[in-house]
Amino acid sequence: AGPSSLSRFRGALVGALLGDCVGAEFEGTEEVPLDRVLQHLDGLEEENRGDGILQYSDDTAMTRCVVQSLLSRSEFDVSDLGRRFAEEYRRAPLRGYGAGVVQVFKKLLSPRCADVLQPAREQFGGRGSFGNGGAMRAAPIALAYPQTQDVIEFSRRCALLTHASSLGYNGAVLQALAVHFALQGALCSGGQYLELLIGEMESLEREEKALSDARELNEADFPYCTRLRKVKEMLERSDVSVEEVVMELGNGIAALHSVPTAIFCALHCLSVRPSLPPHYSGFQRTLAFSLALGGDTDTIATMAGAIAGAHYGMEQVPASWQRCCEGEQDAEEWGERLHKLYQSR
Ligand code: 8NA
Ligand code: MG
Ligand code: MG
């Protein structure tokens, strides 16, 4: 028997928080030597830690808004969520938001804003954002809805508040589905887990807007399915270097260059990795490997952390690591409350 359902729910939110808090150290650094990653993680152990706690960034600030909106409304409520994003930005504008998305918050704060989805549509000359900001906050949707179709619908609408490009919102749907299927214990099937994801993404990427957005950005048709097949192929190799992952899947701020990467991290670290400490749990391996990729480390680690946390549960999250993070108690308590909400449906 795997971890209990409650342990997986808590693990998903705590895993997301940890990925963001430990990943923030390296965000934007292209080459992160594994030594530095392991040293940073060692610093989280009780005996090595000063008084400092690791602050969360925009990834968690927005995830917290999604959780709080779901818990207070018991349903997905796009206007309530838009208001929370904008108010959170006004309260704490320096959490490291993407350069474009702050325009959305400013418009949402204006009393003249009648349609909450309009500011997102106006981003980047009307093309909408393809950043990973929709995906980084998608996990709570998977913790609130047991049905796959609901997860798809509400993760898309949750992303549409800031990310109107299909490359942006489909990345969010993929991340929510990755957590959704991991909660059900499907991650350990590796190839079959990827087939589940590909099956769902195929129908989304067949939509007219997905096809035209991909062409406009010079991407092949079915960009997410293409990358997920690449993930599958890479998992079948005996080992894969950090350089190969970065080159073939990416480590950037585009959802297309980070969501499949996070999924790869979780799958790749299901088995022991010779370069990582042998006493590490699968959860710890996943975070360490994500950070070593460099680039958008906080966001890739928050997504991989949510998937791994949903798979392994709290048993594999070191208490010492958890205690280093700002807001760790909220994450655990909210995981439990979302679990109740999920089970009530
Ligand atoms: P976003 O919507 O502003 O997108 C992020 C960036 O992607 C934009 O600033 C653009 O450079 C680029 N981009 C997105 N869509 C387009 C487009 N259609 N055409 C041209 N360029 C485009 O914000 P987001 O919420 O998606 O961003 C998430 C990322 O921002 C996360 O990594 C998050 O951690 C944060 N971030 C913070 C820092 C930092 O300095 N702390 C650095 C990078 C990213
Ligand atoms: Mg961030
Ligand atoms: Mg980031």
Tens digits of per-residue pLDDT, 84-127?
Answer: 999 999 999 999 999 999 999 999 999 999 999 999 999 999 99
- Written as one letter, the residue type at 238 is S
Query: Tell me, what DSSP letter sits at residue 55?
Result: P
pLDDT at 44 over 90: yes
Q: Whose CA is nearest to atom 10 of ligand 1?
A: 100
Note the pLDDT of residue 50. 78
Note the pLDDT of residue 47. 83
CA of 340 to the centre of ligand 3 (A): 30
Cβ neighbors of 199 (< 8 A, separation 6 or more) are none
- The confidence band for 246, taking pLDDT boundaries of 50, 70 and 90, is very high
Q: Report the share of the chain in percent with pLDDT over 90.
A: 97
Reduced to 3 states, what is the DSSP secondary structure of residue 174? Answer: helix
- The confidence band for 71, taking pLDDT boundaries of 50, 70 and 90, is very high
The residue to mutate among 129, 136, 209, 258, having the most atoms of ligand 1 within 8 angstroms of its beta carbon, is: 129
Note the pLDDT of residue 289. 98
- The confidence band for 162, taking pLDDT boundaries of 50, 70 and 90, is very high
pLDDT at 1 over 80: no
What mean pLDDT, rounded, does the chain reach? 97
- The confidence band for 293, taking pLDDT boundaries of 50, 70 and 90, is very high
Q: Whose CA is nearest to atom 15 of ligand 1?
A: 129
- The confidence band for 286, taking pLDDT boundaries of 50, 70 and 90, is very high
pLDDT at 297 over 90: yes
Which tens digits make up the pLDDT trace of 176-220? 999 999 999 999 999 999 999 999 999 999 999 999 999 999 999
Which tens digits make up the pLDDT trace of 271-284? 999 999 999 999 99
- Cβ atoms of 15 and 306 closer than 8 Å: yes
CA of 216 to the centre of ligand 2 (A): 27
pLDDT at 52 over 90: no
On the CB side of 26, CA atoms within 13 Å amount to 33
Distance CA 82, CA 113 (A): 11
- Of 25, 8, 103, 79, the C-alpha closest to 315 is 8
Cβ neighbors of 123 (< 8 A, separation 6 or more) are 100, 101, 103, 104, 129, 162, 163, 164
How far from the centroid of its chain's Cα atoms is residue 97's Cα? Answer: 15
Read off the pLDDT of each residue in 162-173 and give the average, rounded to a whole number: 98
CA of 273 to the centre of ligand 1 (A): 31
Q: Is 344 exposed, middle or buried (0-12, 13-18, 19+ CB in 10 A)?
A: exposed
pLDDT at 49 over 90: no
Which tens digits make up the pLDDT trace of 115-146? 999 999 999 999 999 999 999 999 999 999 99
Who lines ligand 1 at CB under 6 A? 27-28, 57-59, 96-101, 124, 127, 129-133, 165, 253, 296, 298-299
CA of 122 to the centre of ligand 3 (A): 22
Cβ neighbors of 92 (< 8 A, separation 6 or more) are 61
Q: Whose CA is nearest to atom 18 of ligand 1?
A: 129
Burial 204-234 (b: 16+ CB within 10 A, else e): bbeeeebeebbeeeebeebbbbbbbeebbeb
CA of 258 to the centre of ligand 3 (A): 10
Distance CA 265, CA 251 (A): 11
